[in-house]
Every structure is written in C-alpha cells, then in structure tokens.
C-alpha cells in the first residue's frame, strides 16, 4: 500500500473511525494481535426488537444469518421501580404502552454502535432515555434521560462521535457524545420530533416533526388539530437554526392539498440535491428539490385492497413508513407498512417493481454491500432482504418481538452475543 494511503488508514483508526482490521492493516505495519485487538471490528446489522428489548445482530449481507443477541434493557427492573414511584412518569409510561406501543412497552426505538464497537447506544421510548450497553458484558455503561417523557429516532454523525435523539414530548433534539453520553447541545423543533439526519458532511442536522399522531383527529378537515409540523435544519456545531421548511405551502403549490405535511422517514440522494420522504396517511412518497426548495414529483404506490381506508387504523398515522436508497442513487426501497408489502422503485421513472409481500414492514435500510434493501416485518418477527437490481426477495431471517429499526454497525471481530 502507498505510504500516503497507509497514513490515511492509520489516521482513520486513531480518529475513532469505524475501521476494520483487514489485509490493509498488515501491509501498513499493523498486524492482528494483543496490541491491536481493539482495532479489529466486523460490520454487522442491528435489528431492534421494540417490544422485547433485545437486539438481534445479523450479518450485513449475503445470508444475513444471525450472529448473536444483546439485551438492551439490562436495567429494566430499576427503571420500572423509578417509573412506578412517580405518578406523572407512570401516566406517560402507560400512555405510551396503550397508544404508540399498541398495547406493548416500547423498549428499543433506534440504535448505533460506538466507533470502537465496545457499546451499543439505544433510544428507549418507554424509559424516556438513551443508554449505552457494553457489548462485552451486556451491562449498562451510561444513561441519558431525555427531556419530557419519550425518546424516539436517532442519527449518528458521519464521524461516529455524536448521536442525536428526538425527545418527542418536549419538542427537543438532544445531541450527545456517543462515548460518554454527555450532552453537547440541543435545539427546539416542531411538535413531536421524529426523524433526524446529518447532512452536508455532518455540518447540518435535519429534524422532521410529525405532529400529534396519537389522537383520532385524522380526517383531512381536522388537520389543524395535528400540531406544528415542520423540518428544522440547524448548524450541527452551534445548534443554531439555519432554516425551517414547512411542507404545507409547498404541497399546496404542487396541487396536493390532500396530502399531510407530516414528514416521516426520508432518504437523500448521494449528492443531497434531492430528498425523498413519506408523509402521514399516504401510500407513496414525495420528491423534493433541496436547492430550489420545491416539490418535483409525487408517487402514489398501490393500495392493498385488504387494507382499511379508515385512517384511525393506521399505526401512528403512517400508512407507509420506511424508505431507503441504493448507494448509486438509482433505486428507492419503500416499506408499505399498512399495505403489507415492500417494493423497489426506479428513481428516474418512479416505476415500482414487484410488490414483495411483508407483514407490516416498519423500516427499510441498505445492506452492507449495498446490493439489497433490508426491511423489518414487525408483524412476522423477521427481517427480509430484497435485491435492488431485480426487486425480488432474497431471504427472510427470524428475529425477536416486533422488529422496527435496522442499522449497520461495527462490533468487535468474533463477537457472538451476550444473551441466548
């Protein structure tokens, strides 16, 4: 390996990047052994089983076989004691169970690994916190209680050192040091902050607030009762607001007054010139030109004839929830949550491919090799991989109770789990 390339590789390790000990390390003078064991990492895929509190760790491509499991609520009894001794916290805890949780406690919403793979950082909605669990011992390393009474989606910075979490009942995003759990900063959002995305090489942080999804004011005539829904973009260093994007006038200008302006999961193109996003109640997605600040296209996807059109039956107002993009930007993968399918969509033509049957798919991400989309089938307790090239199902892997978020991560090489 060229000396300059070795220097860059070494800097990535020293800087805490998620590097893997490969042949490159040997060529550059770093050989696997006791002194360098901490550097040896494997790429994996984390599957958060929301109602169980345990994450399945699977291979990130190929067979997607399960590697191991880790309990992300090792402190469950302690947290429950705290909650049951606090009447206000108990009221919110039970409210989350009966509304967002569909009768279940929400133990895992989102999760990422620390740069060195020594811990998994997880947002736990029912416990209103973010916690780090040691991947070697399964013990709690640190815990950050969010403001308010519920934690939600997270995002990790491109360098892997910071994690942003939505505190959905306080309309706040907290940004934490991923290693220590110390708060670096925070900012205010619209009602019920949800998705977070770092953009511009980590210089900006986008938050999408979805409004009140737990009430039954779901008829379009009652839209004004859904709260303040907007995209808030902040400087990721100072947390000062850069801009606010309200999709209501932009949807109206495009002629889609019928669509909700509650932006759900999103996917940027590789150059971040286009944003694709799902909105509440809609079986499809929207294409938005970031620089021109206008909507370009709206894609309606097929309805399942067995799916009720009663909006009150949609889980947290989301008819479709989960969208990702192939690394080359050519294909989109869309989870049709209430319509029980997922599909690969050609980004140029917006033509969908085969509808791959799935039981309430709740998320969509990209495999480690970029060749497949991986969806969580929350009603079937499995994850399913779909080929980006053909749109056909590759395989399904059983996981735990109610899988939702799926994230690529790095864990120590040879790791096989902390629980059976």
* In a shared domain, residues 88 and 113: yes
Q: Are residues 54 and 132 in the same domain?
A: yes
Please report whether residue 419 resides in a domain: no
The pLDDT, as a whole number, for residue 39 is: 65
Q: Does 9 share its domain with 124?
A: no
Task: Specify the pLDDT at position 315.
Answer: 83
Task: Look at the chain and report how many structural domains it folds into.
Answer: 2
Residue by residue, DSSP assigns 202-236 as: GTEEEEEE----SSS--SGGGGGGG----EEEEET
Tokens at 150, concatenated: 């519920």
Bridge partners (DSSP) listed for residue 132: 121, 142
Asked if residue 81 and residue 98 are part of one domain, the reply reads: yes
* Residue 420 is assigned to a structural domain of this protein: no
50, 376 contact by CB (below 8 A): no
**Is 103 found in the same domain as 8?**
no
Residues in CB range of 349: below 8 A, 6 or more apart: none
pLDDT value at residue 310: 87
State how far the Cα of 88 lies from the Cα of 159, in Å rounded to an integer. 38
Do 34 and 46 reside in the same domain of the chain?
A: no
Please indicate, yes or no, whether residues 18 and 55 belong to a single structural domain of this protein.
Answer: no
Question: Do 76 and 15 share a structural domain?
Answer: no
Residue position matching structure tokens 């893997």: 20
Does any domain span residue 131? Answer: yes
Residues 6+ apart with CB under 8 A from 39: 13, 19, 21, 25, 30
Note whether residue 370 is domain-resident.
yes
For residues 24 and 54, membership in a common domain is answered with no
Cα angle at 194 between 145 and 91, to 5 degrees? 50
Token digits of residue 75? 């402190």
Residues 243, 109 share a domain? yes
- Please report whether residue 78 resides in a domain: yes
- Does the residue 418 lie in any domain? no
Distance CA 266, CA 322 (A): 8
pLDDT of 317:
83
If asked whether residues 347 and 403 sit together in one domain, one would say: yes
Strand partners, 244: 232
Could you tell me if 12 and 145 lie in one domain? no
Contact 403, 362 (CB under 8 A): yes
**Is residue 417 in some structural domain?**
no
* Block mean pLDDT (10 aa), the chain, length 420: 36 36 35 49 98 98 97 98 96 91 94 98 98 98 97 97 97 98 98 97 97 78 86 98 97 96 97 97 97 98 92 87 98 97 98 98 98 98 98 98 98 89
Q: Which domain holds residue 3?
A: 1-39
- d(CA 149, CA 170) in angstroms, rounded, equals 8
- pLDDT tens for residues 207-231? 999 998 877 776 788 788 888 999 9
73 belongs to a structural domain: yes
| CATH code, domain with 45 | 2.130.10.10
pLDDT of residue 100: 84
Q: What is the CA radius of gyration of the chain?
A: 21
Which residues contact residue 120 at a Cβ distance below 8 angstroms, ignoring those fewer than 6 apart? 46, 55, 70, 72, 111, 112, 113, 114, 132, 133, 135, 409
Position 220 scores a pLDDT of: 80
């Amino acid at each position: 390996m060229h000396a300059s390339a070795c220097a860059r590789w070494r800097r990535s390790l020293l800087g805490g990047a998620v590097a893997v000990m490969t042949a490159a390390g040997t060529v550059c003078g770093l050989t696997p052994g006791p002194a360098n064991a901490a550097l040896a990492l494997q790429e994996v895929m984390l599957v958060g089983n929301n109602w169980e509190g345990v994450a399945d760790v699977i291979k990130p491509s190929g067979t997607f076989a399960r590697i191991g499991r880790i309990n992300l609520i090792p402190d469950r009894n302690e947290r429950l004691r705290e909650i049951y001794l606090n009447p206000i916290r108990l009221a919110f805890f039970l409210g989350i169970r009966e509304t967002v949780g569909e009768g279940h406690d929400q133990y895992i919403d989102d999760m990422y690994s620390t740069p060195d793979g020594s811990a998994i950082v997880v947002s736990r909605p029912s416990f209103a916190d973010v916690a780090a669990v040691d991947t070697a011992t399964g013990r709690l390393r640190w815990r950050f209680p969010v403001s308010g009474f519920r934690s939600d989606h997270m995002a990790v910075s491109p360098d892997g050192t910071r994690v942003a979490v939505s505190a959905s009942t306080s309309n706040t995003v907290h940004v934490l040091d991923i290693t220590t759990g110390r708060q670096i900063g925070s900012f205010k959002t619209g009602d019920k902050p949800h998705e977070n995305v770092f953009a511009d090489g980590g210089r900006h942080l986008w938050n999408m607030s979805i409004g009140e999804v737990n009430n039954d004011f779901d008829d379009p005539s009652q839209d004004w009762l859904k709260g303040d829904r907007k995209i808030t973009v902040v400087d990721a260093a100072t947390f000062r607001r850069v801009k606010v994007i309200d999709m209501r006038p932009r949807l109206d200008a495009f002629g889609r007054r019928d669509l909700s302006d509650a932006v759900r999961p999103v996917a940027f193109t590789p150059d971040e010139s286009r944003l694709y996003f799902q909105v509440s109640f809609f079986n499809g997605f929207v294409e938005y030109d970031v620089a021109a600040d206008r909507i370009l296209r709206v894609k309606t996807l097929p309805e399942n004839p067995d799916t009720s059109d009663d909006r009150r039956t949609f889980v947290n107002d989301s008819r479709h929830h989960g969208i990702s993009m192939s690394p080359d930007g050519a294909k989109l993968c869309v989870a049709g949550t209430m319509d029980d399918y997922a599909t690969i969509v050609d980004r140029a033509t917006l033509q969908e491919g085969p509808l791959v049957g799935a039981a309430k798919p709740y998320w969509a991400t990209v495999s480690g090799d970029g060749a497949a989309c991986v969806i969580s089938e929350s009603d079937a307790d499995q994850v399913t991989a779909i080929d980006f090239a053909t749109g056909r199902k590759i395989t399904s892997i059983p996981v735990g109770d109610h899988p939702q978020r799926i994230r690529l991560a790095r864990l120590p090489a040879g790791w096989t789990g902390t629980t059976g």
